[in-house]
């Protein structure tokens, strides 16, 4: 994708220019490109236009562009101006372990429901690096997490209406490590755990690894079946229930306040502890009232949070919020898994949470546009497929007219598109009519993906399903 960036946008983003103007301008431009505020491979304004817009001389802008090129943040193209880039070019976006055909460079990966970094992340890293020296005289182990990050997280719960003190927060290496710690703390061999189906599969692996026996309760594309959940809680009296009430992965569903109340009461009757995964809780894409956190409806609940979806998966920082009196148990469980999350990334997350875009507004705006582009293209090109446009989260959960999701995934793979069939999210098998389509890539990629989906679907032409493709799923 390539185009040019309006001069007024560049001038706005650059803002105040530190003296001397030529190097100040180069530094500001490098910073906004590194932060993802200006897209890559786009033509910068002509030197004359930018000079006029910023009230600088043309020579100053020419020198600034020269410095920018030397630093690797721009490249000149013969006869067509100066283009944005990052030093070394963009790195490969995903690990080879995730691709069915690792050597195929052109593969588009729609198997990972995780967005690109939120704009401003490079600056947050720079600020964190500046704050790091204060920690270097100590040993660097913070098994509970940096105090300032724990307080920033506690504050977010308070602002969501859930009284929380920082000593209830335990910082982990991602939400998945928080789930593993919770499983270790709460579960032993043979204990039953209620899970939704479909569900995020890596969480189920963590629960099973702790020895738990999984009891799955179906979640329909239209919502939770609370009668079935109440019956399961009554009959199985599970020790724990792993729940994703906020933009559930993969369905994108949101449990409303009344449903939370009812489920909270059923959990209390069964003496079941909820492990509430709020990984997607910040990803509201509509202006609708936001329900209170599930822990406000279930006082024994353990809440899992994460930064991967609102900010960036590469941070690998998540957390647990535990009820008063249970901190020791969870700290001990955590120490059997790892000894703390990296300090630099904790500082980065503190910067992000306490900064001007602490609610990930920019990430949400981007996701909203991408969601609408994907939903629109699918409705037009594949009108037989059924899906609800979710009010938040990262994916469309699509029901095909026939149970051929695995065959569709194989056909797509042949054409360079990786998608995840519904069976991957089915803890007890099934869901062969569903595919999960994340809207986490730029709109142009999503439209290209719908072209491939359409061709692959047409090529299937009445054929039956095949064995599930073997996949590693991350997000
Ligand atoms: C529901 C859910 N929980 C946990 C995770 C893992 O998150 P993290 O990257 O913070 O470990 C994911 C990732 O997709 C998820 O969807």
Q: Which tens digits make up the pLDDT trace of 176-189?
A: 999 999 999 999 99
Cα 34 to middle of ligand 1, angstroms: 26
- For residue 114, the CA-to-ligand 1 centroid distance in Å is 9
| Average pLDDT for the chain | 94
In the predicted model, what is the mean pLDDT of residues 15-22?
94
Residue 1 pLDDT more than 80? no
The closest alpha carbon to 222, from 257, 252, 259, 183, belongs to: 252
Q: Give pLDDT, residue 221.
A: 85
Q: Give the pLDDT of residue 105.
A: 67
Q: Which band of pLDDT confidence, cut at 50, 70 and 90, is reported for residue 472?
A: confident
Instruction: Give the pLDDT confidence score for residue 106 in this predicted structure.
Output: 72
Tell me the average pLDDT across 357-374: 94
pLDDT digits (tens, 9 = 90+) for 284-324: 999 999 999 999 999 999 999 999 999 999 999 999 999 99
**Ligand 1 centroid from CA 106, angstroms:** 26
Give the pLDDT mean for 58-78. Answer: 95
Q: Taking CB atoms and a 6 Å cutoff, what residues make up the pocket around ligand 1?
A: 113, 174-176, 200, 203, 244, 249, 277, 279, 306, 308, 313, 318, 475
Q: Whose CA is nearest to atom 3 of ligand 1?
A: 279
The pLDDT > 90 percentage for the chain reads 88
Atom of ligand 1 nearest to the CA of 114: 14
For a mutational test of ligand 1's pocket, the pick from 306, 349, 420, 440, i.e. the residue with the most ligand atoms closer than 8 A to its C-beta, is 306
In the chain, what percentage of residues exceed pLDDT 70? Answer: 98
Q: How confident is the model at residue 326 (pLDDT cuts 50, 70, 90)?
A: very high
CA of 474 relative to ligand 1 center, distance in Å: 8
180, 294, 309: residue to mutate for ligand 1 pocket, most atoms within 8 A of CB: 309
How confident is residue 258, by pLDDT bands cut at 50, 70 and 90? very high
Task: Mark 186-225 as b/e (b = at least 16 C-beta within 10 Å).
Answer: bbeeebbbbbbbbbbbbbbebbbebebebbbbebeeeebe
Q: What is the average pLDDT across 427-453?
A: 95
Which protein residue has the closest C-alpha to ligand 1 atom 7? 175
Q: What is the mean pLDDT of residues 361-385?
A: 97
Can you give the pLDDT at residue 186?
Answer: 97
Give mean pLDDT, residues 101-116. Answer: 83
The band of 89, judged by pLDDT with boundaries at 50, 70 and 90, is: confident
Q: pLDDT tier at 93 (50, 70, 90 boundaries)?
A: low
Domains of the chain and any CATH numbers: 3-84 (1.10.10.10), 96-118+360-460 (3.90.1150.10), 122-354 (3.40.640.10)
Q: Per-residue confidence at 102, pLDDT binned at 50, 70, 90?
A: low
Structure tokens belonging to residue 241: 């229930």
* Gap from CA of 475 to ligand 1 centroid (Å): 6
316 CA to centre of ligand 1 in angstroms: 10
The C-alpha atoms of residue 10 and residue 252 are separated, in whole angstroms, by: 35
Q: What angle do CA 11, 17, 18 make, to 5 degrees?
A: 170
Mean pLDDT of the 172-178 span: 97
CA distance 92 to 75: 20
Count of beta carbons in the 10 Å neighbourhood of residue 255? 23
Pocket test for ligand 1, best of 114, 172, 175, 341 (most atoms within 8 A of CB): 175
From ligand 1's centre to the CA of 398, what distance in Å? 20
Atom of ligand 1 nearest to the CA of 200: 1
**Euclidean distance between CA atoms 111 and 273, whole angstroms:** 31
Q: Which atom of ligand 1 is nearest to the CA of 318?
A: 10
Q: Whose CA is nearest to atom 13 of ligand 1?
A: 475
> In the predicted model, is pLDDT for residue 103 greater than 70?
no
Cα-to-centroid distance, 279 and ligand 1 (Å):
6
Q: In the block, which residue shows the tokens 């609708």?
A: 288
Report the pLDDT value the prediction gives residue 88, as an integer from 0 to 100: 87
Rg (CA), the chain: 24
Q: So what's the pLDDT on residue 230?
A: 97
Residue 220 CA to ligand 1 centre (angstroms): 21
4 pLDDT band (50/70/90 cuts)? confident
- Flag whether pLDDT at 124 surpasses 90: yes
């Amino acid at each position: 994708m390539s185009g040019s960036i309006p001069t007024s946008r560049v001038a706005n983003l650059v803002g105040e220019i530190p003296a001397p103007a030529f190097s100040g301008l180069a530094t500001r431009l490098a910073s906004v490109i590194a932060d993802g505020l200006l897209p890559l491979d786009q033509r910068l304004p002509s030197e004359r236009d930018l000079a006029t817009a910023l009230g600088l001389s043309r020579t100053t802008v020419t020198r600034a562009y020269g410095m920018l090129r030397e630093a690797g943040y721009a490249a000149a193209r013969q006869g067509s101006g100066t283009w944005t880039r990052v030093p070394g070019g963009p790195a490969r976006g995903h690990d080879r372990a995730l691709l069915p055909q690792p050597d195929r460079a052109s593969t588009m990966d729609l198997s990972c429901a995780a967005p690109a970094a939120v704009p401003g992340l490079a600056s947050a890293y720079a600020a964190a690096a500046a704050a790091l020296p204060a920690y270097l005289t100590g040993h660097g182990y913070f098994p509970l997490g940096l105090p300032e990050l724990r307080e920033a997280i506690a504050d977010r719960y308070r602002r969501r209406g859930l009284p929380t003190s920082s000593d209830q927060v335990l910082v982990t290496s991602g939400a998945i490590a928080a789930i593993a710690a919770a499983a270790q703390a709460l579960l032993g061999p043979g204990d039953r755990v209620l899970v939704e189906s479909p569900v995020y599969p890596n969480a189920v692996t963590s629960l099973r690894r702790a020895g738990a026996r999984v009891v799955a309760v179906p979640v329909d594309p239209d919502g939770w079946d609370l009668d079935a959940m109440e019956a399961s809680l009554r009959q199985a009296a599970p020790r724990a229930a792993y729940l994703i009430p906020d933009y559930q992965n993969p369905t994108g569903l949101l449990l409303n306040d009344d449903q939370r109340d009812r489920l909270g009461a059923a959990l209390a009757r069964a003496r079941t502890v909820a492990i509430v995964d709020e990984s997607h809780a910040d990803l509201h894409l509509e202006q609708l009232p936001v329900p209170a956190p599930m822990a406000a409806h279930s006082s024994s609940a353990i809440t899992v949070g994460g930064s991967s979806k609102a900010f960036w998966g590469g941070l690998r920082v998540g957390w647990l919020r535990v009820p008063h009196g249970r901190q020791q148990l969870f700290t001990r469980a955590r120490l059997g898994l790892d000894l703390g999350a990296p300090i630099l990334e904790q500082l980065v997350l503190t910067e992000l949470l306490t900064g001007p875009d602490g609610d990930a507004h920019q990430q949400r705006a981007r996701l909203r546009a991408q969601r609408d582009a994907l939903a629109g293209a699918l409705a037009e090109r594949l009108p037989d497929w059924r899906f609800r446009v979710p009010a938040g989260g990262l994916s469309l959960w699509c029901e095909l007219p026939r149970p051929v999701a695995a065959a569709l995934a194989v056909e797509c793979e042949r054409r360079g598109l990786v998608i995840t069939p519904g069976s991957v999210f089915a803890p007890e098998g099934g869901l062969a009519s569903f595919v999960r389509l994340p809207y986490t890539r730029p709109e142009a990629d999503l439209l290209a993906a719908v072209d491939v989906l359409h061709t692959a679907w047409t090529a299937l032409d009445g054929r039956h399903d095949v064995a599930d493709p073997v996949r590693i799923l991350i997000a």
